[in-house]
Structures are given as structure tokens and as C-alpha cells.
Amino acid sequence: MGINFYEKEAVFKLDTPDTSYVIAIVDDEKFIGHAYYGKKVEDYDLTYLLRTSEMPFVPSKNERDRLSFYDCFPMEYPTHGIGDYRESGIKIKTKSGHVATKLSYESHKIYAGKPAIPNMPATFAGEEDCDTLELLCVDKEQNLEVTLVYSVFRHLDVITRSVRVKNAGEQELYLEKVMSACLDMDNKEYELLTMHGSWARERHIQKRTVGFGKQSVSSCRGESSHQDHPFMALATKNATQDAGEVYGFHFVYSGNFIAQAEVGQFQTLRAVIGILSEDFSWKLQPGDTFHAPEAVLVYSSKGLGEMSRTYHDLYRNHLIRGVYKDKKRPILINNWEATYFEFDTDKLLAIAREASGLGIEMLVMDDGWFGHRSSDNMALGDWFVNEKKITGGLKYLVDEVNKMGMKFGIWFEPEMVSPDSDFYRAHPDYAIAVPGRVPGLSRNQYVLDFSRQEVIDAVYEMVASVLRSANIEYVKWDMNRQLSDMGSLMLDSDCQGELYHRYVLGVYQMQERLTSEFPYLLLENCSGGGARFDPGMLYYSPQIWCSDDTDAIERLQIQEGTALIYPLSAMGAHVSDCPNHTVGRVTPFETRGIVALAGTFGYELDVTKIPEEDRKQIPEQIAMYHKYNDLVRTGDYYRLASYSENREFDCYGVVSKDKKEALYTFVQVLNRANCKSRKIFLRGLDAKKTYKIEGTDQEYFGSTLMNAGINIENLWGDFRAKLIHVKCY
Ligand code: GLA
């Protein structure tokens, strides 16, 4: 059991293989104190760290300075309004407008297994993998019950947290803020690692020193966003891939969020992660419970690499679901960059014919097949096949593609509506808008009000009818604008602050419904590229489109950031045509294939039009995918060098769990004069095992390859790439 309660000392100790987390209930008022989180310790009674026996400190001994206690005590879940002036975890407003909450320990439950969070994504685990602690805390004046939920993984250094907030009184309460996790820590002069970006430039890693005050990343865009990411890590200064302490905080949620580190006057650090409280409020009627989303905490005492591998294992085994969870994904060809809106049945069949001959396994028909959609200005919401383009109908097209031995996939953007669509003309009130104000357009579209069941039902029926009409085995679910002008016709004035969260719940509900009715579907989420690449969406789709930037060199940085916390099996990556449509760069076809191999792998080009010498390489690339995908999908990820740091080359590897095989990718971005070779130090091998590098006969110990390194000869030219396959024989 990873969780123990020591009654005499009123201490809870949570243990994973390499970490301990200690909570203590102190003083007459049963404050819930946070004593420790970090590398595993043997003792459980760490209450001395809470300074309760020191000079008058706790309120029972020093009532006159109660606020001093609040202002520095490490609270497990700090509350708003009573004198802890650091960031709070929860803020409740009563009917009378007051906002002071104080929580005391009431009771607890410890059990094997992990509860689901109703109607929301969360990691899952059986009784053999996980133990859970539920700490019930109450505010008797507010008739409020707050349950702090901790699940501890037995084989991974992961602790998940979530919070349930219940109105146990007779009058309504307004939840104005609820963090999913708060953590009071010593200030070890951490560096804060976050990810920022933009369209086509997602998840670039940013490091900065944590200073006094608050530093945060957040999204108020209604989705996790291109711009910031619902993740932060606190790493000891100069932590490397394999050394240093790292605390990761990741939020299993797809809407507005905040992740924040705050260093206060006493040199302590408070970390919080949760739903962004700006524009959030939730009315709790008597008896109502609000479920906050899950936060995933990972501690590593062995640097960033260990943190990445822990997240990868967790998400591969305990978040991703469905038939493709542990399966190789079909190699797809998507027609977006090949044709944009200019396609019809004949063009698609010509692409499919050529593609199937080369070994590609699925054709995905992207945007433009429905309503009168001939550009991105119209028809979202009219999910009916445009038979002027798709002559012969969808079933005919799908059957023809199937006859070639290929699967068929299709694109939708269910959450959106174009003003120029029959759906909008019939239901203008279905769009999110503030009454009396014309909402702002983005890509000439509005956002549908997914907080309303009738809106979800109407869209679901259209989407499902298309899926029922032919043998469609893949859906790309897109979302191409962010939310604004928040207003829902169906919400009372004191509930409008619920709209952002209700919208996200609506998206989750529809994806759950879709994957339940069509369990064989491979769902790939997407949002203008990678604006909703988050663990929430990963619960519904085993892969997510990483970025609209398909340039192999731009992708290095995007994929490095993404792979910091997501398994490679989740990263949608395609080979596209050159000059690249986003940045105009020309890279060798071989490099494009090698870089896409680090993700799901597929093509996004007109295979009937690309140069013959490129086309000829496709069967080789496909063979490469089949040879390495099991390893890439299931192995341990190691970062050897980062182009975003050295501006010259990138290098990463995947090592099989039994350490008998590894594949390293080296990409030379910038060639240097008079630079004969570059040395790289392989990582993740078994020091005592002997390996051969494919294409050579000499055997080396893992220790040699990792410590003495290997030379990569000059690849002559920029943007050249090379795979290094290492195996035990
Ligand atoms: C978004 C997606 C693209 C493509 C277009 C279609 O930008 O990220 O891959 O599907 O929409 O409009």
C-alpha cells in the first residue's frame, strides 16, 4: 500500500517507488499542513518541519498572531480571505457576498484503486497499480465540504491530485476559484520550465529563474492553446537530462488554466495549477458538487529525462484508451497540404491509387467535403456530403479506397459554425455570443455553445450520420478558433461564469459519445495544428496533430517540447512537400521522413505530383516505419542534444524497455566548416550489455557507447539526418 495513516501523529505518508509525500494534521483546529514532497524518505513523522512546537506559532498558543501563522504555514490546500496572502487554492463566495474560507480536517478514506472524475478525463488505474487517499476538509461556517483526492502510483513516481467541492448547506455558494493542486515547497532557487508558442510554433521550451513574486503561464482562450501550455516544471538550477531534481505539474484539462510559482517573503515557494479563475465562477446549489480536473505531479531526482519517461509511461498506460492504445497506427496520407479545398472524388482516388501502391495504408479527406465549403469562409455546421465534389457519394469513395486495400478517414470541425451556413441560418442562437453584441469572427467562424445539450445533440447526429454512412475508420477532430464574447442563452446571469468550463465538458461529452458509438475509430484531435495538445484530449484520442508546421527543422523544436511530457506515439507527424508551405524551407525528403518517424508518421502531400526521386523513397520510409514503430511507440525516450539550445544539431533516442535495442536520430541542422565529426554520447543503454551499430560489425559495451560516445561523420550539407540503430546480438 503506497499510503499510510499514522493516527497518533496524525500523519499521512504517500510513497511511490522513489518519492514520499507527507501531510500532517496539526493543532486544535486541525489544520492540514504540507510537510514534505520529494525523494523518498524512511521516516513518516516529519511534523517537526511544520514548526508547530516552536515558540508561539500555532493559533492555539498564539491567538493574537493568527494571521502570522496563516501567512507562512505550509498549507496543503490554502484558502482565500483569512490571512494567507499567498495564492490560494480555493475561493468561495457566499450568498451574502463574503469570501473567507477556512478548512479543517474532518475525516479520510484510504483505498486501493483510483476513482474516475465524472464526465472528465483523468488517468485511470486498477487496484494493483494505485492507492487513493481522500481527505475531507470542512468549513463549518460556510457549510462547505472540500475533498482532496490523492492517487499514488505503485510503479511510477506519479501522484495525481484533484478536488471535490460540495455545498453541504441550505444556501447557494459560488465557487470562484478552485486549484487542482497546490504545493508549498522550500525555495531551492528553482528554474521554471514552461512551454510557449504560437500557431505553427507550439510548445517551445522556456527556462527562467524563479524570482520573488508570482510567475505563471495561463490560457484565457477557452482551450489549452498554442500560446501557453498547462504544464510547468520546477527544476533545480542547471538540472540536466540525467541530474537534478525536477517537479512536474501537468493539468489534465483542455480549457482555461493557470500554472504558477510564487516565491514569498519567507523564501518559500507555492506552486499551484488549476482552472484559470478569471471569468470562472460556478454556482453550487445546496447538495451540488463541483469536480475539479486532475493535476499530475511527477517528481524526478534524476533530471528531466526521468520526468519525461515517467509522463510517457503514465500516459501510454493510464490515460490513452481505445483499440489503438497499444497498436501501430495506419500510415495515413492527408490531402490538406496536397489540395487544400480543390479536390473531388477523382483527385482523391488518384492520390489513393498512387499511395496504396507505395504502401500507404489510409486516405484522410481533410476540410472541404461538406456543405458548400469551397474556402474557409463558409459551411461549417453543414455536415452533409457535397456530392458536387464527392461525385458518386461518400460511400462510393470509401468503398473504392477500401478496394485498394486502404482505410478511409475524414475531417470534422464539430464545435464551429460559419455565419454562411444553413445550420447557422436555422439556429443563430446556437453560437456563443453576448446578447445584443455581434461576436468577433475568427477564420470567419463562430463557436457553437457546447454548454447546451441540444446543440451537442444536433451536431452529434450530423457527424454520426456521416460516420454511419460508410466504412470510415478515422476522424480528425479540428478546432480552428479560440473563444471570445462569452455568453450562453441558457445560463442565468449568475451562471454565465460557468460557460468556459461547461463548454469543455460539452466537448468531452461529445468525444466520449463518439468513441463509444464508434469504438473502432482512430480519433486524432487537432486545433489549428497543436493548440489543444493536452492530456485531456489524449484521454479521447491516442494521437493529436502536433502542429500545422510540417517543416522538418521547425518540427525539431516543436517535437522536443512535446516529447518533454508526451509519448512519441501521441505526436501527429507527417512528411510534407517542399518548399515547406509554412516556412518555405527546402529539406531533403529523407530528413522529413526521419523526423516524422518520431511521431505517428504519415504523409501530407500530393503523391501524384511530388518529384520522382522523392516518391521513390516512400516505400523505403514505410519499411523504416514498420521496422521501428514498435520501438518508437513503446520505448524509453532519451534526449541527447537539443538544436534549440546548440543551434547546430538535434539528437534523441528511443530505447526498448529490455534495453536490447535502441534507435537514435541525429539531425544536422547547420553544417560547419572544418568540422569532421560530431561526437554524441548514447543514453539509456545497459552499460554491461554489448551492442552492434547496424551496418558495422564491431561490438561495444553500452558503457563505451554512453561514456566514450560515438562519432557522427559530417553529413555534408544542412538539414541532413541519420538514424543510428543499436542492437544486442
Ligand atoms: C487546421 C488543421 C489543418 C487542416 C485545416 C483545415 O488548420 O490544423 O491540418 O485540417 O485546419 O481547415
pLDDT digits (tens, 9 = 90+) for 374-426: 999 999 999 999 999 999 999 999 999 999 999 999 999 999 999 999 999 99
Mean pLDDT, rounded, for 12-36: 97
- Kindly report the backbone phi and psi dihedral angles of residue 618, in degrees, each rounded to the nearest multiple of 5, phi listed first: -60, -50
In the predicted structure, residue 31 carries a pLDDT above the cut 70: yes
In the predicted structure, residue 349 carries a pLDDT above the cut 90: yes
Tell me what pLDDT residue 56 has: 67
Quote the ligand 1 centre to 336 CA distance (angstroms). Answer: 7
- Smallest CA separation from ligand 1 atom 12, residue: 367
* Residue 572 beta carbon below 6 angstroms from any ligand 1 atom: no
53: confidence class by pLDDT, cuts 50, 70, 90: confident
CB 715 within 8 A of CB 722: yes
Question: Can you give the C-alpha Rg of the chain in angstroms?
Answer: 27
Measured CA to CA, the distance from residue 410 to residue 369 in angstroms comes to: 9
Tell me what pLDDT residue 675 has: 78
- Predicted model pTM: 0.98
CB 543 within 8 A of CB 516: no
In the predicted structure, residue 727 carries a pLDDT above the cut 70: yes
Measured CA to CA, the distance from residue 295 to residue 313 in angstroms comes to: 16
CB 193 within 8 A of CB 205: yes
Q: DSSP secondary structure string, 281-299?
A: -EEE-TT-EEEPPEEEEEE
- Give the 3-state secondary structure of 100-125: CCCCEEEEEEEEECCCCCCCCCCCCC
- Kindly report the backbone phi and psi dihedral angles of residue 400, in degrees, each rounded to the nearest multiple of 5, phi listed first: -65, -40
| Residue 441 DSSP class | P
* Residue 529 beta carbon below 6 angstroms from any ligand 1 atom: yes
Tell me what pLDDT residue 52 has: 84
CB 195 within 8 A of CB 229: yes
Tell me what pLDDT residue 57 has: 86
Counting residues of the chain whose pLDDT is more than 70, the rounded percentage is: 100
Q: Single out the catalytic residue among 15, 478, 614, 650.
A: 478
Measured CA to CA, the distance from residue 89 to residue 80 in angstroms comes to: 7
CB 37 within 8 A of CB 20: yes
Any residues with CB less than 8 A from the CB of 490 and at least 6 apart, and which? 449, 451, 452
Measured CA to CA, the distance from residue 145 to residue 244 in angstroms comes to: 38
Quote the ligand 1 centre to 529 CA distance (angstroms). Answer: 7
Q: Which three cell numbers stand for residue 142?
A: 460556510
Tell me what pLDDT residue 55 has: 67
Counting residues of the chain whose pLDDT is more than 90, the rounded percentage is: 97
In the predicted structure, residue 676 carries a pLDDT above the cut 90: no
Measured CA to CA, the distance from residue 81 to residue 88 in angstroms comes to: 9
Measured CA to CA, the distance from residue 133 to residue 148 in angstroms comes to: 8
The pick from 201, 375, 380, 526 for probing ligand 1's pocket by mutation, whose C-beta has the most ligand atoms within 8 angstroms, reads: 526
* 548 is known as an active-site residue: yes
In the predicted structure, residue 1 carries a pLDDT above the cut 80: no
| Residue 174 DSSP class | E
In the predicted structure, residue 54 carries a pLDDT above the cut 80: no
- Kindly report the backbone phi and psi dihedral angles of residue 9, in degrees, each rounded to the nearest multiple of 5, phi listed first: -90, -5
In the predicted structure, residue 308 carries a pLDDT above the cut 80: yes
Tell me what pLDDT residue 141 has: 96
pLDDT, the chain, mean: 97
* 71 is known as an active-site residue: no
508-535: per-residue pLDDT in tens?
Answer: 999 999 999 999 999 999 999 999 999 9
Partners of 150 in beta bridges: 133, 161
